[in-house]
Amino acid sequence: MSLVFLADISYHAQMANQDIENSKKFESLSKSANVEILTDADSLKTYGKDWTKHYTPKASAVFLPKTTEQVVEIVKWARQTKTALVPSGGRTGLSAAAYATNNEVVVSLQKMNRILELDAFDQTVRCESGVVTEHLQKYALENGFFYPVDFAARGSSQIGGNVATNAGGIKVIRYGLTRQWVAGLKVVTGRGDVLNLNKSLVKNATGYDLRQLFIGSEGTLGIITEVTLSLAKKPKELVVFVMGTNELDSIMQIYKRFKSEMTLIAYEMFTDIALKYVSAQNVARPFATDCKYYVLLELEHESDAYLERATEIFSELLEAGVVIDGTISQSPKQAAELWKLRENITEATSHKQPYKNDVSVRVSRVPEFLSEMSATLKREHPSFEVVWFGHVGDGNLHINILKPDDIAGPQFVEKCKKVDEVMFKMIEKFEGSISAEHGVGLVKKAFLHHTRDKAEIEIMRDIKRVFDPDRILNPGKIFD
């Protein structure tokens, strides 16, 4: 008993010393650069994590810069004091890339949230990196344009974070990933240099395109402070089809059939289990017939004839028995309702503490991978309820294993990590990726070698050394 007591005292004494040292360190920065600093327990907990479950946040402070100059000061200070920084956006990530688990200082860009300039001729918008995705999307629409990178976390995710993870989402088959829309970037590197990259040029053949390195670098090379995004033309009204089938192969057959004649905006899949959870949350089922798999397809109402042709294809597929049942939205409101069936899956299952995976294979191999992996899961873990869904049109599958009520959290995670090993070996065999769009962060770093070979990982480490010689930027994310 007394030993525990003594250990407790020394732990608290150590913590108090650490706190005093920390506050002295922070004070110097807040005086020299006037940066807002939070150290209260609530803020440390909130800002120390993202949406990834199964990690414990442990940040030492949260910095809230308002300008690029302040970010430069923070980086210089971090180099001097050898303090690790975790750049942080809307914290909606699912690979723990925005977690501070090791006394790092979180640098939140949320106060840098101004839209700075719209260039209607160049079709670009320049903004600070803390602008929320949905805010930018609305701003683009209000100005007659369209920002097409879109996903369920649009209401919280921030543009800088989207760039740092090369966010994908639901419209990739038509518009590509975030990378495609980044026309320029302002970044503070781990050396404290400010790089103004590409400056919105369409053509720029002047050596290495450093802009591309920061896209998807998960805050390990620099802190993005400003982004210039290209904008698209506003689409016509969007129409959503939801179709049910009982055969895995039909998922690709339906895709191929529509794709051969139409330009699709989105092609998503979810299973009967996903529908069970979503419809338990007051989202209406799309139709009465129960099916094993559901696909959601979106296209533009280009003309009445175009939509009529899409409806004919749908009828042909129904007659052929490829589609068992289906529905077509008759208004934007109905389209939005149908989208809830797919977009609400994450929220509807979150109470089951899901262990998440996000993988990709070549589009044509999605059914083969899904059937092999789900057979393995059923065989080896019959008690696991597994929710499969995702952006099958681009080869991206989300696999959420729900925690059975009778297993404790840590044991469940252990079991799931074993599943990871099997799954990632299978991914390697399929020449797929262990992370399609959520990134590597802390979650996938031990498995990186299943997708990237040794030489590639070494080159990535070398690049990190160039931009961040003192390893102050998000150390331990992507690789050690």
Nearest to 427 by CA among 439, 436, 437: 436
Nearest approach, Cβ of residue 356 and ligand 2HG (Å): 4
Residue nearest to ligand 2HG (CB): 346
Nearer to ligand 2HG, 63 or 255 (CB): 255
CA 375/CA 161 separation, integer angstroms: 35
CA 1/CA 9 separation, integer angstroms: 13
Nearest approach, Cβ of residue 354 and ligand 2HG (Å): 7
Nearer to ligand 2HG, 424 or 467 (CB): 424
Nearer to ligand 2HG, 168 or 184 (CB): 168
Nearest approach, Cβ of residue 100 and ligand 2HG (Å): 22
Q: Which of residues 9-28 bind ligand 2HG (CB under 6 A)?
A: none
Contact map string, positions 397 to 416, toward ligand 2HG, x by CB under 6 A: -x-x----------------
Nearer to ligand 2HG, 122 or 385 (CB): 385
Nearer to ligand 2HG, 152 or 224 (CB): 152
Beta strands, E only, 114-231? 115-119, 124-128, 145-146, 182-189, 194-197, 222-230
Nearest approach, Cβ of residue 181 and ligand 2HG (Å): 18
Nearer to ligand 2HG, 151 or 314 (CB): 151
3-class SS at 422? Answer: helix
Nearer to ligand 2HG, 356 or 450 (CB): 356
Q: Retrieve residue 46's tokens.
A: 């909130």
Contact 472, 83 (CB under 8 A): yes
Instruction: Compute how many residues bind ligand 2HG; rule: CB under 6 A.
Output: 6
Would strands 182-189 and 222-230 be described as parallel, antiparallel, or unpaired? antiparallel
Nearer to ligand 2HG, 149 or 324 (CB): 149
- Dihedral of CA 240/288/340/216: which sign? negative
Nearest approach, Cβ of residue 46 and ligand 2HG (Å): 20
Nearest approach, Cβ of residue 154 and ligand 2HG (Å): 11
Nearer to ligand 2HG, 75 or 427 (CB): 427
Exposure on the CB side of residue 463, measured as CA atoms within 13 A = 17
The binder of ligand 2HG chosen from 44, 152, 223, 341 (CB under 6 A): 152
Nearest to 108 by CA among 155, 154, 72, 161: 161
N-to-C CA span, the chain? 39
CA 290/CA 244 separation, integer angstroms: 8
Beta strands, E only, 120-181? 124-128, 145-146
Query: Residue 439, Cα to own-chain centre: how many angstroms?
Result: 7
- Phi and psi torsions of 172, nearest 5°: -65, -35
CA 473/CA 105 separation, integer angstroms: 10
CA 391/CA 403 separation, integer angstroms: 23
Nearer to ligand 2HG, 147 or 270 (CB): 270
Nearest approach, Cβ of residue 348 and ligand 2HG (Å): 10
CA 99/CA 91 separation, integer angstroms: 8
Contact 251, 293 (CB under 8 A): yes
Nearer to ligand 2HG, 189 or 400 (CB): 400
Tell me: does residue 217 bind ligand 2HG (CB under 6 A). Answer: no
Contact map string, positions 301 to 340, toward ligand 2HG, x by CB under 6 A: ----------------------------------------
Contact map string, positions 352 to 371, toward ligand 2HG, x by CB under 6 A: ----x---------------
Nearest approach, Cβ of residue 167 and ligand 2HG (Å): 9
Nearest to 344 by CA among 170, 174, 160, 171: 170
CA dihedral 203, 208, 212, 216 (to 10 degrees): 170
Nearest approach, Cβ of residue 400 and ligand 2HG (Å): 5
Angle, CA 98 vertex, CA 92 and CA 103 arms, to 5°: 140
Nearest approach, Cβ of residue 212 and ligand 2HG (Å): 22
Sequence length of the chain is: 480
Would strands 355-360 and 385-391 be described as parallel, antiparallel, or unpaired? unpaired
The binder of ligand 2HG chosen from 52, 158, 346, 433 (CB under 6 A): 346
Q: Retrieve residue 105's tokens.
A: 């200082």
Nearer to ligand 2HG, 152 or 297 (CB): 152
Nearest approach, Cβ of residue 49 and ligand 2HG (Å): 16
Nearest approach, Cβ of residue 346 and ligand 2HG (Å): 4
Contact residues toward ligand 2HG (CB under 6 A) are 151-152, 346, 356, 398, 400
